[in-house]
Each structure stands twice: as C-alpha cells, then as structure tokens.
Structure 1
Amino acid sequence: MEDPSLNQQTSTVSPGSLRELANVAVPLVLSCGSLSIMHVVDRIFLTWWSTDAVAAALPAGLIQWTIMSIAMGKAMYVNTFVAQYEGANQRQRVSEAVWQGVYLALIWGGLLLLCAPFAGIFFHWIGHTAEVQALEAEYFSILCLGSGPALLSAVLSCFYTGRGQTMVVMWVNLTSVLVNMLLDYCLIFGAGPFPALGIRGAAIATVTANVSTLLLYLFIMLARHEARRYGLFNHWRFNRELFMRLIRYGFPNGLLYFIDIIGFTLFIVLVGRIGKIELAATTIAFNLNSLAFVPMMGVGTAVMTLVGKRIGEGRPQLAVTTTWKAFAVSATYMLLFAVIYVGFPELLLRPYAPEVMTEDFLKVKQAAIVLLRFAALFSFFDAMVVVFGSAIRGAGDTRFCMIYTLLTGWAIMVIPTFLVWRYADVGEKLFGSWVACTSYLGVLGIGYLIRFLAGHWKQMRVIEDHFPEPTAEDSEQPVEGALT
C-alpha cells in the first residue's frame, strides 16, 4: 500500500480549483524555498570565509549551471511527458518517458566530466582578479563531478511531479538541503574532524547532497512499490521514437534554460569586470532575491504539471483557470518580497557581515542596498515569467519561449550591459547594468503573458493522439494517489 502521509491528492479535489493548485504547488514551493535558503546560507558562510570566495562562487556556479542547463532543461521536460501521459491514463508511456530521460542524463553527465580539466584556462580567459580566478576554477571543477547525479535526480523527480506526487519531492529536497547545509559548515570552516576547505568545501558539500538526493529517490521508488505498479523495470528499453520526441520538445526547453542562464552569466561576468566590490554586491543581491524567486519555480513546476495533465485529458480551459489563480497568488507573494527588499535592506544584509567589519564589506553593503531596489522592481515581472512561461511550456510551446528569450535577452540585457561596461563612466556602470537586467525581465514577462492570452498552446500536446491497447502488466493494478 502507498504511504498515506505522502499522498496529498484526494478524489474530493475539484479540477482547476485553488485547492488542487495548492496540493501540487505548496510542497514544491517549500522544496524550492529550502533550496534557496541553502544557497543563501552557503553564500553567507563563504562571505564569512572571504570576500574573494563569495565573489567567485556566483560566476563559477552560474557557468557550471550554464553548461549543464541544456541537459537539465531536457531532463526537467520529462515532467510534461509524464503529466500528459498520466492525464491520458498511459502508465506504460510514463515509465518509458522516465527511462528516456535517464539515458539523456547519463550521456550528458559523462560529457560534463570532460569540462573540469579546462577550468583554469577558461576562468583565466574571463579576466577576473587572480585570486578570484583560482577560487572559481576550483569551485567549478568540483561541481562538475556532481552533474550526473543532479541530472538523474531531476529526471526521477519528474516521475513524481508529473503525477502530482509533490510531497515526495519536498521531503527528498528537504533532506538533501539539511545534508548540504551541515556539510557546508563543517567543510568550509573545518568543524569537528573535517579540515577547513573554504570554497572547495562548499563545492564538495553540494556534490554530496546531489548524490544523496539520487539515492533517496531510488530508495523511495522501491519502498513504495511504484516501480512495480508503473512497470518501471519492464519498460526500460531505449525507445527511439519517444527519445526523439523528448529531444524535439525538450531541446528548445533546454536551450531556453541555456539562453536564460548564459545571459545572466555574461551579465555577472561583465559586472565582475567592473570590480570585485560590484561583483560581490551583485552576488549578494541575487542571492537574497533567490529567497523570493526560487520558491516561485515550485509554482512554475506545478503549473506545468496541471496544464500538462489538462492537455492530456483534453480540457485546456481548466488549465487557463489554474494559470490565472497561480498568477494571482504568485504576484501577491512577489510584491510582499518587494516591500521587504525596499523597507528592510539592512536587516537582510546583516547575516552577511563578517565578525570584523572591513572597508570592503561596507562598500559591498552600500551597493547591495541599491541593487535590492532593482530586485523589488522586477519581482512582479518574475511572477509573470514563471507562471505564464510555465503554462505554455506545459502544453508544448517550447520553441516560442526559446526564440523570444534569446532575442530579448541579448537585445535588452547582454548587449546593453556590454556597452555600459565598455563606455559608461565608472560610477554609472553598475547602475546601468542593472537597468538593462530589469528591463529584460519586464519585457520577457509581458511577452509570455501575450503569448498565453493568444491561446495557441491550447491546441498543442507532446504525446500521441492514439495509444496501443494496454497489456496485462499495464492494467494489473489501479494507480494510487494520482491527480483527479
């Protein structure tokens, strides 16, 4: 029998209701919120260790994520396949979709290991200060080791999120976060029997947490007998047609991740060329903004899941209802954080202060207070980007998202930031860069809203129109805990 404590869906939940959205979204919000807290704590620890360490962590982490983003976008799009197949009551195809994602993760994870030896050359080319370069290369190289487990964990999480079983994902991520935070402190500062490794310790803690996440998913699948009910071990074979369909729809989604991340990575790199203080202030501002933005990604995954399920059922109008409810909640949430960013910046920045106040940190703090005002301004548009972008991608409209993000990201953020860095006065470079970033998010959010209102996505789907008759093993047992 399935563990009732983890089964949050009931037959009394009305499709398209706020309760249905909450059942799926709240565990994901808590899960993503715990991840954002983990990243904030990680940066706080690195700030206590050294200004150079916190300045190196964001660009190195972003570049590693950039390289992994195409595969991660494809892996996460398994969620849409699972949701639509679940809506169409095709359990065998759910299992087959998960396995194609596993093969993709294994291939890309192996390729990412080849990047680690070239870290020193790459970060030397970027041109940050010598001290920061060395730390960036070290942090990046270790993170590459955890790419494979991270990708595999993302695929296995889609087996749960796509079916609305988001409580499982929440508990797995909470456990992983606790592992990461504990190891962060021990390995950065050398607590107990552990040596003090600084930024290297932070990277090792992240990789260890990725491995623990993968092992937890495998254990839960076996313990809850879901592998047997969905025939996961019966449908493991490579399916060329389904794999290519995952590439067809998942590649634009992965390229969307890549374009978005590389745009922000180039933004961070250019800000880093302005100076170490500007880079550290930007790192802290983005880190604090993640407290609001990262939990929103949980809402986005919930919207993709519910839109995908409704498309699979042939009821797109219910997806419209769910999306608008998600936006109303998300916009309220982000506006609350905007008030906090503007009204209480000193309180937010207090944990970053070292025990002995330095002149460098005072400059970082002054700059970060200004940058938090930008974060308050674009927080509302972040809600639009996440909710409406997730809705249309949940139906299969990934190509538009990819092209639109590419055009707006480079035209409004990357190229203007380069021009500001190249030609603006020193005192105006940081301000001008963040104006470009804020403008980009505003245009991106409005564009996704217009695309959603146009309604093209209602006629899209990533799964087949007709399915073969189910085999005996596919109809052996009813699926417990599925979305209704």
Structure 2
Amino acid sequence: MTSTEYEKNDKKTKVLNWFKNPTRSSVINIAWPVLVELLLGSLFGMIDMMMLGRMRDNSLSAASVAAVGMTNQPLFIGLSLVQALNVGGTAMVARYYGSGQKDKIETTLKHVMLLSLFMLAIPLSTLGIIFTDSILSFMGAEADALQAGRMYFKVIMVGFIFQSLNMSISAALRGIGQTKIPMRINLFSNLFNVFGNAILIYGLLGFPELGVTGAGISTAISNVIACVLLFCYVIKGKSVVRLNLKNRFKFQKDIIYNLIKIGLPASLEQMAMRTGVLIFVKIVAGLGTVVYASHQIALNILGLSFQPGQAFGIAASSLVGRSLGAHEHSKAEDYAKETRKIGSMISTLMAVVFFFFGPQLVGLYSNDPIVIENASLALKIIALVQPFQSSQLILAGGLRGAGDTFWPLVSTFTGVLMIRVGLAHIFVRVLGYGLAGAWMAVFVDQFVRWIFVYARFRTGKWKYAKLR
C-alpha cells in the first residue's frame, strides 16, 4: 500500500471515529432530520417568495413581497406563543421519557394541544380575520401592500389553527427524539405547498390567477394536510407519543403547573421577541416599499441561517431533558456542548456563503438593482452575526430542555426589545444609515443575547431545575 493510500485510509478512519462518538452520534441522529426539515422548509419559503417576486407586474410583485413580510409578523406572534407552550411540552415529555414515566406523555400532549387550540389558535385567528386592515395598517402597510395582503392574511389565519396542532404533536415527538416522522410529513406538506403556489399564483392548469392570495390558500391547505397526517400517526399508537381518544381526559394540576413554570417565561420571551421585531419592522417599513422588499428578501435568506441553530437547539432540548430526567447531569452538559460545536461549524460555513455570494442569492428573488444592492449589504452583516446567533440559539435550547426558561427571557427582552429597537431607531431614523443601520442593530442584539445565555450556561445551575 502506497503512502497516499495510507493517508486516505487514515482520513477515513478519523471521519468514522468522529461519527462513532456516542454523544456526537446521539446529537446527529436527532438533529439531522430537524435540520433537513427546517432547511427545506425555508428553501420552500424562499421559492414561494421568488414566485411572488417574479410576477409580471413589478409594482404588484413588490407590493406582494412586502405584504407577505408585514402579514408574517403578526402571524409569527401567534406561532411564537404556541411554540412557547410547546417548549414546556417538549421539556416535560423529554423528562418523563428519560425517567421512565411514559404514562405521563399522552396526557401532557393532550394538555398542550387543548391549551394551544382554545387559548391561542382559535382566539388569535378570529381576531386576525376581524381586524385584518387595522393590523396591516399598524404594520405600516402602504395602500398597495394593504390591497395585496388583505385576503392573504385572512386565509393564513385560518391555516394557523391547523398549524398550531401540527406544532404541538411535532414538539412531543421531538421530546423523545423521534424527529424523522415530523420531517417526512412536513416535507410532504411543504412540497405540496410549492406546487399549489405555482398553480394558484400564476393560474396554471386552468385555475384562476390569484397572485398572493393563491399563495395563502396553498399554505393553509398544506397546514391542514400536515395536521391530519400527524394526528393519524399518533392515533395509530406506533410511537411512545400516542393519543387514545377513548381515554377520559382530565386536567391535572401538576402538568398545568409545569407548563406554566416553563411556558410562561417562554411566552413572555416570545412576546418580547415579536413585539421588538414588530417595532423593528415598522422602522424599516418607513424606508418605503422597495427597501422593505429588500429587507424581506434578506430576512427570508436569514431564515436559512437560523436553521442549524434551531435544529441543534431542538436536539439539545431533547437530550438535555432526557438526561436530567435520568439524573445524568454531566451527560446533559456534554450534550449541550456537542450540539453547540456542530451547529456552529455549519453556521460558519453558511456565513461564508452569505458574505461572498450575497448578490447571486438575492438575484434569485429579484432583478431590481436597488433591491439586490440593499439586500446584499444586509447579507454581509448577517454573515458576521452567525457565530453568536448559532451559539445563542443552541445553548438557549439546552436551557429550555432543562426547564430553565427565565434567562432566555432576560436575554431576549434586553437584546431585542431594548438593544435592537433602540439602535434601529438611532441608526435608521436619526443617523440615516438606511437598511444597513437596521441590520447593524440586529448584529449588536445577537451579540448581547449570546452573552446572557452563555453566562447562564456556564453557571451550571440549569441542571437542577425542578419539575413536578
């Protein structure tokens, strides 16, 4: 065997040994389906935006892109509140699974689903449909964006009800590390959404040309499909996470207590996040429809960079929760550190792509040179954000899995609601830095949040959070 062949074999051995590490293997097994699901979900979202950005009428196209961005912000408030409740569900399911109390998993899922549906999804959807114009006007929508987005918002708020149930079941499955089923179902529904968008936006196959409203209809139907498939899966009883509709349901004080203890800080965190982002969006919207369209395209691409942090954050939540449930504190810390290491490697690679290939990425959305220039500059700043963003998301996921949701709340309240909004106002409205100033504020916000979360993780006090 030649020296070159020895070197190749040595490299293969090192790669295989890297993957064989038990801690790393567990992290990757849980994280990769979530990462694939989130990345392809974002990719499908990017394709949707590209479809709207390439409609024949340029002014209507810009208004549609801006309308989707403005309607997404209030929708995200509702989704974030549902997700906050799901944080409690994931942490509890992981703890019960790790401690062998599998009988408590079904009743936890039922609590989360019912609370999500009747306390959040239905009331918020109803309010959104009734006050559509007021909400969009508050978001800073100009006449063209308001006209384009009115019906779109009403339709997606109907789909929001089904999406909330989809999120609750997926969160419970991820709590036990079962991430492949949500991945397959959500990929199927997203693929349906892409084809549905193409048909209804452009009026293909004999369907009417509905523009941005068609995108809303396709999205709502895909949410219904995902909800039905997930519901059928847990009813069949093939998983530890199951639903038996024949069993009598009764609200239990301990489960409600745990959901409130974990979910209330998480809900306040999401409210702080979405309120800050909403104000931030209003500041950017004041720069005009074309600049806001550039901002929305940059946000859409930024969604890709969130995915490694979110995927490995979900893996950290599951593995940390299960380890603490089994009273393996050092193992919980090892899982958190390993998830951060791998997620940061992936985010760094994405940062390089954003920094050097920004114009090419933005060019997929729009041919407008002003849009390309503004969004490309934003992507360079986004690239610098990556190391702090990824680490913060993953470590915060580990803290949530432990049930320690207070410090992520403090970090978000300080970073988003105070730092991002305050600096955006100064950079955009006072100093006139435009869209670049807004994204400079995002950079400082992410850095501050990383400091808070990392400092809390270093104390190790999160290992001793108690649940009933």
TM-score by length of structure 1 reads 0.87
Opposite residue 75 of structure 1, the aligned amino acid is N
Which among 271, 294, 309 is matched to residue 284 of structure 2?
271
Q: Distance in 2 between matches of 1:273 and 1:348?
A: 25
Q: Distance in 2 between matches of 1:34 and 1:155?
A: 20
Aligned position for 2:458? 453
Write out aligned runs for 1:312-323 (5 A). 312-323=325-336
Three-state SS of the structure 1 residue aligned to 2:122 is helix
> Residue 99 of structure 1: SS of its match in structure 2?
helix
Out of 399, 412, 416, the position equivalent to 2:406 is 399
Please report how far the alpha carbon of residue 184 of structure 1 lies from its aligned counterpart in structure 2 after TM superposition.
Answer: 1.2
Question: Helix, strand or coil for the counterpart of 1:146?
Answer: helix
Please, which moves more after superposition, 81-90 or 13-22? Answer: 13-22
Q: What's the secondary structure of 1:461's corresponding residue?
A: coil
1:97 maps to what in 2? 108
Distance verdict in 2 for CA 1:186–1:264, change over 3 Å: same
Contact 1:31 1:295 in 2 (8 A): no
Matches of 1:245 and 1:327 in 2, distance apart?
Answer: 26
CA–CA distance in structure 1, aligned partners of residues 204 and 229 of structure 2: 26
1:20 maps to 2:26: yes
> Following the alignment from structure 2 to structure 1, what is the Cα–Cα distance between the partners of residues 410 and 240?
38
Take 1:244 and 1:194, find their aligned partners in 2: how far apart are those partners?
Answer: 50
**Does residue 81 of structure 2 align to residue 70 of structure 1?**
yes
> Does the 8 Å CA contact 2:420/2:444 hold for their aligned counterparts?
yes
Kindly report which structure 2 residues correspond to 1:26-37, keeping only aligned pairs within 5 A, or say none: 26-37=32-43
Alignment of structure 1 residues 319-398 onto 2, 5 Å: 319-353=332-366, 357=367, 361-398=368-405
SS in structure 2 at match of 1:403: helix
- Return closer, same or farther for 1:117/1:456 CA change in 2, 3 Å cut-off: same
> Which moves more between the two structures, 302-311 or 286-295?
286-295
Structure 2 match to 1:120: 133
The Cα shift of 1:78 comes to 0.8
Please state whether the residue corresponding to 1:70 is helix, strand or coil.
Answer: helix
What stretches of structure 2 of length at least 5 have no aligned partner?
Answer: 1-18, 56-60
Q: Supply the distance in 2 between the matched residues of 1:424 and 1:230 (Cα, whole angstroms).
A: 56
Aligned counterparts of 1:34 and 1:129: Cα–Cα separation in 2: 32
Task: Tell me, in whole angstroms, the C-alpha distance in 2 between the residues paired with 1:364 and 1:21.
Answer: 39
Task: Determine which of 191, 202, 226 is the counterpart of 2:215.
Answer: 202
Where 1:165 maps in the other structure, the secondary structure is coil
Q: Which amino acid aligns with 1:336?
A: L
| CA separation of 1:375 and 1:228: change in aligned 2, threshold 3 A | closer
Aligned to 2:47: 41
Deviation at 1:228, TM superposition (A): 9.5
Counterpart for residue 324 of structure 2: 311
Report the residue type matching 1:382 in the other structure: Q
- Aligned equivalents of 1:172 and 1:140: distance in 2? 24
TM-superposed CA distance for 1:346, in Å, is: 2.7
Which of the numbers 250, 257, 265 marks the counterpart of 2:263?
250
1:158 Cα deviation after fit? 2.2
Q: Which amino acid aligns with 1:93?
A: K
Does the Cα contact within 8 Å between 2:317 and 2:400 map onto a contact in 1?
Answer: yes
SS of 2:208's equivalent in the other structure is coil
**CA–CA distance in structure 1, aligned partners of residues 392 and 69 of structure 2:** 22
Question: 2:309 aligned with 1:296, yes or no?
Answer: yes
Unaligned runs of 5+ in 1: 1-12, 465-484
How far, CA to CA, are the matches of 2:380 and 2:428 in structure 1? 21
CA contact (8 A) 1:149 1:214 kept: yes
Provide the residue aligned with 2:436 in structure 1.
431
Cα 1:235–1:418 change in 2 (3 A) is farther
Q: For residues 366-385 of structure 1, what are the alpha-carbon distances to aligned partners after superposition, in whole Å with 9 as ceiling and x for unaligned?
A: 11111110110001111111
Which one-letter code corresponds to 2:280 in the other structure? F
1:100-136 Cα deviation digits (max 9, x unpaired)? 0011122111101222110102222333321012223
- Cα separation, 2, equivalents of 1:199 and 1:76: 32
Task: Tell me whether 336-345 or 218-227 shows the greater mean CA deviation.
Answer: 218-227
**1:67 positional shift:** 3.2
Distance 1:186 1:47 in 2: 15
- Secondary structure at the counterpart of residue 133 of structure 2: helix
**1:178-257 correspondence runs (5 A):** 178-223=191-236, 225-226=238-239, 233-234=246-247, 236-257=249-270
Which is bigger in relative contact order (C-alpha 8 A, separation at least 6)? 1
What CA distance in whole angstroms lies between the structure 1 residues aligned with 2:328 and 2:373? 51
Runs of 4+ in 1 over 6 A off after TM superposition: 227-230
User: What's the CA shift string for 1:351-396, capped at 9, x where partnerless?
Assistant: 213xxx5xxx110111111111011000111111111111111101
**Residue 77 (structure 1) shift:** 2.7
Give me the whole-angstrom Cα distance separating, in 2, the residues matched to 1:441 and 1:232: 44
Counterpart AA for 1:110: I
Deviation at 1:75, TM superposition (A): 2.5
- In the alignment, the residues of structure 1 paired with residue 395 and residue 343 of structure 2 have an alpha-carbon distance, to the nearest angstrom, of 11
- One of 275, 278, 296 as aligned partner of 1:262: 275
Task: Tell me the residue number matched to 2:4.
Answer: none
Q: What is the rounded CA distance, in whole Å, between the counterparts of 2:186 and 2:325 in structure 1?
A: 28
Task: Find the counterpart in structure 2 of residue 475 from structure 1.
Answer: none
Post-superposition shift, 1:251?
Answer: 1.9
| Residue 166 to residue 118, structure 1, CA distance change in 2 (3 Å) | same
**C-alpha separation in 2, matches of 1:400 and 1:117:** 36
In the alignment, is residue 82 of structure 1 matched against residue 93 of structure 2? Answer: yes
User: What value does the CA root-mean-square deviation take over the aligned residues?
Assistant: 2.0
Which of 294, 297, 311 pairs up with 1:284? Answer: 297
Are 2:189 and 1:176 equivalent residues in the alignment? yes
Separation of aligned partners in 1, 2:341 and 2:248: 40
